[in-house]
Structure 1
Amino acid sequence: MTRREELDPTSSLWDLFAVYLHVLRTKHGLSCAAVGREVNAARQTVSHWESGLLRPDEGQIRGLDALYETGGLLEWIAFHAEIVHDTRWQMQHLHLDAKASEIRLYERSFIPGLLQTPEYARALFTLEGIVDDVEGAVAMRMARQKRLYSPDPPHLSMLIDEDVIDRVIGGTEVMSKQLEHLLDLSEMHHIFLRVVPRGQGFHHGLIGPMKIMTVGRELIGFTEAPLGGKLIRNPKEVSQLALRLDRIGADALNRAQSRDIIRRALESLI
C-alpha cells in the first residue's frame, strides 16, 4: 500500500487536503511537474503534497487555489487543519515512533514510555484513569520497547526533568525498580539519557513535552497534549522544535552527572 492509499480524509483534515490536491490535479489533466512549474516547486515535492508527506507553504497554497480556481478553499482547509485537533495524531505518532531510526525527546512529567517498566506503566495508566484496558495498554507499551534490544535499535536521545526522577509513581517499590531500569538503560550504547537539573530554573522545555522522530529521510515532530498530541511535519516548524531541544540539551547535565542524580534518587527510596 502506498502512502497516498493510507490517507483517510474522513478523520484528518490534512489527509483531506492531500487527497483533494490529487483529485484537483488529475481533474485538470496536469502532471506533477506542470503543477510545480506554476507554484515554484519540484515535481517530487508536488507528489509528496498529495501523499501527505509534505505540505505547501502559504504562498504555494494560494498559487494552487488560483491554478485550480477553487476560490480560496484550499487555504481555508489548510487553516482549519492547522488549528483543530486531529483524532489520529496519537495513532500516527505511535506508528511513526515504531519505524523511527532516531528519536529525540524531552519529558517534564513522567518517565518516557520507551523507558518505563511494566509496573510503572501500569501505575501510570491506572492513576490517569483514561484507559479502559490497562493491561492491554501496558502490553502494547512493552511491545514497543522490544526494538531497544534488537540488532538494529533506534538511537535515543532523552532529556528529562529532575522532577521526573523525584516524582514517585506507584509507590517506592515501583519507583525504585524504575530508577534501576533507567540506570541500566543509560549504559546502553544507543541510549543517551540526560537530566535537566531543577536548579536550572527556566529552560525551553517548560512549554511541555516534545519529540522529533527520524523516519527514513523525514524529520517529524510531536508535541504532547491532554488526550492526544500534535504531529508536526512542516520542515520549518520541525526545525524550530529541534532548536528548542538543542537549547534544553545545553542546560542538561552530562550522562555521568545524570546517572549520579538518578542514583541519589534511588538511594533516597531504599
Structure 2
Amino acid sequence: MTRREELDPTSSLWDLFAVYLHVLRTKHGLSCAAVGREVSAARQTVSHWESGLLRPDEDQIRGLDALYGTGGLLEWIAFHAEIVHDTRWQMRHMQDDARASVIRAYERSFVPGLFQTPDYARTLFTLEGTVEDVERAVAKRMARQERLFSADPPHLTMLLDEDVIDRVVGGPEVMSAQLERLLELSEMHHVILQIVPRSQGFHHGLVGPMKLMTVGRKLIGFTEAPLGGKLMQSPKEVHELALRLDRIAADALNRAQSRDVIRRALESLT
C-alpha cells in the first residue's frame, strides 16, 4: 500500500487536502512537474503534497487555487486543517520524534520521556491510569532512549522548569535516581540541559510543554495538552514556536549552574 492509499479523508482535513490535490491534478490532466512549474515547487514536492508527506506554503496554496480554479477552497481547507484537532497528532509526533536529528524542548511539570528512569516512568504511568499495561509502556519508553546512546544520536536541548526537579515523583528513592540520571545525561556531548529557575517568575514556557524537531530538512513543532496536543508544520507557527523556545532559553541558567541546582535538589533528598 502506498502512502497516498493510506490517507483517510474522513478522519483528517490534511488527508482530505492531499487527496483533493491529487483529484484536481488528474482531473486537469497535469503532471506533477507541470504543477510544480506553476507554483514554484519541484516535481517530487508536488507528489509529496498529494501523499500528505509535505504541505504547500500559503503562497503555493493560493497558486494552486488559481491554477485549478477552485475559488479559494484549498485555502479554506488548509485554514481549518490548521486549527481543528487531529486525533493522530500524538502518534505522528512520536514518529517524528523518533526520526529527529535535533530536538529542542521545554517541559514544565515532569522529566521528559527520553530522560526518565524506569521507576520514574512506571510511577507516572501508574498514577495517570491512562495505559492498561504499565510494564509494556515502560519498556517502550526505555526502548526509545536507546537512540541516545547510538553512534548517531539526536542533538537535544532540554529546558526544564525548576518545578520538574523539585517535584518528588515516586518518593525520595525514585526521585534521587532520576536526578542522578539527569546529571549523567547532562554530561553527554549531544545533550544540553538547562533549568529555568523559579526565581525568574514569568517566562514564555508557562503556557505549557513544547517541542521543535528537525526531521530531514523539515522543522516540526508540537505543543502538548492533557488529551493530546497539536502538531505544527506551517512556517509561521514553527517560527513562532522557535522564538518562544529562544526566549525560554534566554531566561534559563547555563549548563553548569543547572547542574548545581540539580545537585542541590538531590542533596535535599538524601
Q: What is the TM-score normalised by the length of structure 1? A: 0.92
Q: Would the aligned equivalents of 2:222 and 2:231 in 1 still touch at CA under 8 Å? A: yes
Residue 192 of structure 2 is matched in structure 1 by: 192
Greater Cα shift, 206-215 or 40-49: 40-49
Q: Would the aligned equivalents of 1:54 and 1:234 in 2 still touch at CA under 8 Å? A: no
Residue 206 of structure 2 is matched in structure 1 by: 206
Give 1:4-23 correspondences, 5 Å limit.
Answer: 4=4, 7-23=7-23
Q: Hey, what's the Cα distance between the residues in 1 that align with 2:100 and 2:6?
A: 18
Letter in 1 for 2:269: L
Verify: 1:35 aligned to 2:30, yes or no.
Answer: no
Shift >6 Å, 4+ stretches: none
Identical columns (%): 84
Verify: 1:120 aligned to 2:120, yes or no.
Answer: yes
Q: Hey, what's the Cα distance between the residues in 2 that align with 1:159 and 1:138?
A: 23
Q: Hey, what's the Cα distance between the residues in 1 that align with 2:158 and 2:11?
A: 31
Give 1:243-258 correspondences, 5 Å limit.
Answer: 243-258=243-258
Structure 2 regions of 5+ residues with no counterpart?
none
Question: Could you tell me how far 1:170 is from its partner in structure 2?
Answer: 1.3
Letter in 2 for 1:216: G
Residue 55 of structure 1 is matched in structure 2 by: 55
Question: Could you tell me how far 1:142 is from its partner in structure 2?
Answer: 0.7
Q: Hey, what's the Cα distance between the residues in 2 that align with 1:11 and 1:122?
A: 32
Q: Hey, what's the Cα distance between the residues in 1 that align with 2:153 and 2:37?
A: 41
Q: From the superposition, tell whether residues 154 and 6 of structure 1 become closer, same or farther in structure 2 (CA, over 3 Å).
A: farther
Q: Hey, what's the Cα distance between the residues in 2 that align with 1:194 and 1:137?
A: 27
Question: Could you tell me how far 1:137 is from its partner in structure 2?
Answer: 1.4
Verify: 1:105 aligned to 2:93, yes or no.
Answer: no
Q: Would the aligned equivalents of 1:10 and 1:16 in 2 still touch at CA under 8 Å? A: yes
Report the secondary structure of 2:268's partner residue: helix
Q: Hey, what's the Cα distance between the residues in 2 that align with 1:138 and 1:257?
A: 31
Residue 83 of structure 2 is matched in structure 1 by: 83
Verify: 1:141 aligned to 2:173, yes or no.
Answer: no
Q: Hey, what's the Cα distance between the residues in 2 that align with 1:268 and 1:59?
A: 56
Q: Hey, what's the Cα distance between the residues in 2 that align with 1:194 and 1:15?
A: 38
Q: Would the aligned equivalents of 2:57 and 2:235 in 1 still touch at CA under 8 Å? A: no
Question: Could you tell me how far 1:236 is from its partner in structure 2?
Answer: 2.3
Q: Hey, what's the Cα distance between the residues in 2 that align with 1:69 and 1:217?
A: 31
Report the secondary structure of 2:214's partner residue: strand
Q: Would the aligned equivalents of 2:106 and 2:245 in 1 still touch at CA under 8 Å? A: yes
Letter in 2 for 1:181: R
Question: Could you tell me how far 1:15 is from its partner in structure 2?
Answer: 2.0
Letter in 1 for 2:73: L
Q: Hey, what's the Cα distance between the residues in 1 that align with 2:210 and 2:167?
A: 19
Residue 259 of structure 2 is matched in structure 1 by: 259
Q: From the superposition, tell whether residues 3 and 98 of structure 1 become closer, same or farther in structure 2 (CA, over 3 Å).
A: same
Residue 158 of structure 1 is matched in structure 2 by: 158
* Residues 88-139 of structure 1, C-alpha deviations (whole Å, 9 max, x = no match): 1111111111111111101111101100011111111111122222222111
Residue 238 of structure 1 is matched in structure 2 by: 238
* Residues 197-230 of structure 1, C-alpha deviations (whole Å, 9 max, x = no match): 1111111111111111111111111111112111
* Residues 124-163 of structure 1, C-alpha deviations (whole Å, 9 max, x = no match): 1111122222222111111100101111111111100001
Q: Hey, what's the Cα distance between the residues in 2 that align with 1:157 and 1:126?
A: 28
Residue 173 of structure 2 is matched in structure 1 by: 173
Q: Hey, what's the Cα distance between the residues in 2 that align with 1:190 and 1:41?
A: 34
Question: Could you tell me how far 1:29 is from its partner in structure 2?
Answer: 1.0
Report the secondary structure of 1:105's partner residue: strand
Q: Hey, what's the Cα distance between the residues in 1 that align with 2:38 and 2:215?
A: 30
Q: Hey, what's the Cα distance between the residues in 1 that align with 2:155 and 2:5?
A: 29
Q: Hey, what's the Cα distance between the residues in 2 that align with 1:216 and 1:41?
A: 18
Question: Could you tell me how far 1:66 is from its partner in structure 2?
Answer: 3.7
Residue 182 of structure 1 is matched in structure 2 by: 182
Count of aligned pairs between the two proteins: 270
Q: Hey, what's the Cα distance between the residues in 1 that align with 2:2 and 2:240?
A: 29
After superposition, the CA RMSD in angstroms is 1.9
Q: Would the aligned equivalents of 1:103 and 1:154 in 2 still touch at CA under 8 Å? A: yes
Question: Could you tell me how far 1:43 is from its partner in structure 2?
Answer: 4.4
Residue 96 of structure 1 is matched in structure 2 by: 96
